[in-house]
């Protein structure tokens, strides 16, 4: 059984529609795929219809933008009630922050001499409710300013670069129990990727587990082998579920093909047994 628990569609910053993503997952030989768009559940229905058609299990999920000790942390949530009012309120606030940030980034890039407009970004974010830096990157690619998303982030969109602007995110310590209250299962995405190790140390993970954290994503492309090995020990010590996934973004991220990392079936069963829905 092949299980991939973290993917993105065009409902956020992936390039495949939710239906295409699920069909590609089946074609890639996956038996279970989770759709985890950034801050959005709007792709679930289309993905579920495709999953029914091709006979694959869809786990509806999302990846919530949170902060912990002033650092961004991505929190995966599986199977929450998408209509739970505190969850929709938190997502609305995060999405508003995304929407407000786009004009600020466009203005910053224009200040930097790049003739980009909000319409250029809107053309890329199209069907997504979660407008983000990847869509700005795609606009810059289309304009010929940079070659790909990676170059756009490295030169213009990462913190410290001229086009970067921050946005509002929820507190991690609020979102973990909120997801549990919504009947969902919280798992921290790529906890030690991109500097996350500095805030998400073992003590922090232990206290988050006490708030309801169910697991950590260990097998992820942002984690080199030694990090995966250490995180596996931490998960065993704290009795956290270990997941593995591609974090697929369609054409938006290289080396993140569907199924490039997978989740052990026993760990998957543990996660599903914690979901209330
Ligand atoms: P945002 O949520 O708008 O702040 O943008 C962050 C998203 O950009 C992440 O979720 C990644 O999907 C994507 N991202 C970050 N760095 C890169 C990169 N170097 N290349 C491609 N995508 C990236
Ligand atoms: Fe993303
Ligand atoms: Fe992420
Ligand atoms: Zn992701």
Q: Which ligand is nearest to the Cα of residue 132, counting in written order? A: 1
267 and 181 within one domain: yes
Answer yes or no: is pLDDT of 266 > 70: yes
Q: Give one DSSP letter per residue of the chain, joined into a string.
A: --EE--B--TTTT-SS-HHHHHHHHHHTT-SEEEEEEET--TTHHHHHHHHHHHT-EEEEEEEEEEEETTEEEEEEEES--TT-HHHHHHHHHHHHHHHHHHHHHHHHHHHTT----HHHHHHHHTT-SS--HHHHHHHHHHTTSSSSHHHHIIIIISTTSTT------EEHHHHHHHHHHTT-EEEESSTTSTTGGGTS-HHHHHHHHHTT--EEEEE-TTS-HHHHHHHHHHHHHHTPEEEE---B-GGGSTT--TTSS---HHHHHHHHHH---
**129 lies in some domain:** yes
**247 lies in some domain:** yes
107 and 62 within one domain: no
What is the atom index within ligand 1 of the atom nearest the CA of 135?
Answer: 3
pLDDT digit string (tens) for 28-63? Answer: 999 999 999 999 999 999 999 999 999 999 999 999
Q: Which ligand is nearest to the Cα of residue 65, counting in written order? A: 1
pLDDT digit string (tens) for 145-191? Answer: 999 999 999 999 999 999 999 999 999 999 999 999 999 999 999 99
194 and 82 within one domain: yes
**130 lies in some domain:** yes
Mean pLDDT in the chain?
97
Q: Which ligand is nearest to the Cα of residue 189, counting in written order? A: 3
Pocket test for ligand 1, best of 8, 65, 100, 133 (most atoms within 8 A of CB): 133
Number of domains in the chain: 2
**36 lies in some domain:** yes
**163 lies in some domain:** no
The reply to whether the predicted model has a pTM over 0.95 is yes
- Print the domain residue range for 142: 96-157
226 and 178 within one domain: yes
Question: Of 136, 157, 178, which residue constitutes the final position of a domain?
Answer: 157
Minimal-distance CA residue to ligand 1 atom 6: 133
What is the atom index within ligand 1 of the atom nearest the CA of 63?
Answer: 10
pLDDT digit string (tens) for 216-246? Answer: 999 999 999 999 999 999 999 999 999 999 9
Q: Can you give the pLDDT at residue 4? A: 99
179 and 268 within one domain: yes
What is the atom index within ligand 1 of the atom nearest the CA of 74?
Answer: 10
**85 lies in some domain:** yes
183 and 236 within one domain: yes
**62 lies in some domain:** yes
Question: Of 129, 157, 185, which residue constitutes the final position of a domain?
Answer: 157
256 and 134 within one domain: no
52 and 176 within one domain: yes
Question: Of 115, 132, 157, which residue constitutes the final position of a domain?
Answer: 157
14 and 39 within one domain: yes
**162 lies in some domain:** no
């Amino acid at each position: 059984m092949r299980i991939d628990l973290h993917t993105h569609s065009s409902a956020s910053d992936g390039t495949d529609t939710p239906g295409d993503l699920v069909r590609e997952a089946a074609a890639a030989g996956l038996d279970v795929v989770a759709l985890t768009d950034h801050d959005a559940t709007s792709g679930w229905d289309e993905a579920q219809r495709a999953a029914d058609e091709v006979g694959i299990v869809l786990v509806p999920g999302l990846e919530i933008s949170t902060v912990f000790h002033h650092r961004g942390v991505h929190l995966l949530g599986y199977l929450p009630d998408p209509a739970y009012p505190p969850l929709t309120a938190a997502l609305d606030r995060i999405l508003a922050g995304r929407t407000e940030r786009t004009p600020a980034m466009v203005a910053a890039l224009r200040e930097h001499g790049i003739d980009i407009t909000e319409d250029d970004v809107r053309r890329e974010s199209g069907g997504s409710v979660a407008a983000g830096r990847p869509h700005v990157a795609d606009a810059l690619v289309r304009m010929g300013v940079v070659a790909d998303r990676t170059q756009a982030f490295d030169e213009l969109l990462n913190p410290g670069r001229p086009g970067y602007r921050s946005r509002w995110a929820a507190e991690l310590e609020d979102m973990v129990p909120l997801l549990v209250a919504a009947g969902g299962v919280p798992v921290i995405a790529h906890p030690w990727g991109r500097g996350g190790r500095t805030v998400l140390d073992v003590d922090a993970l232990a206290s988050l587990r006490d708030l309801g954290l169910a697991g950590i994503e260990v097998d992820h492309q942002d984690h080199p082998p030694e990090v995966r090995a250490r995180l596996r020990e931490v998960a065993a010590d704290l009795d956290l579920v270990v997941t593995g996934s591609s974090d697929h973004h369609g054409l938006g991220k290289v080396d993140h093909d569907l199924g490039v990392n997978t989740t052990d079936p026993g760990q998957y069963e543990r996660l599903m047994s914690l979901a209330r829905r």
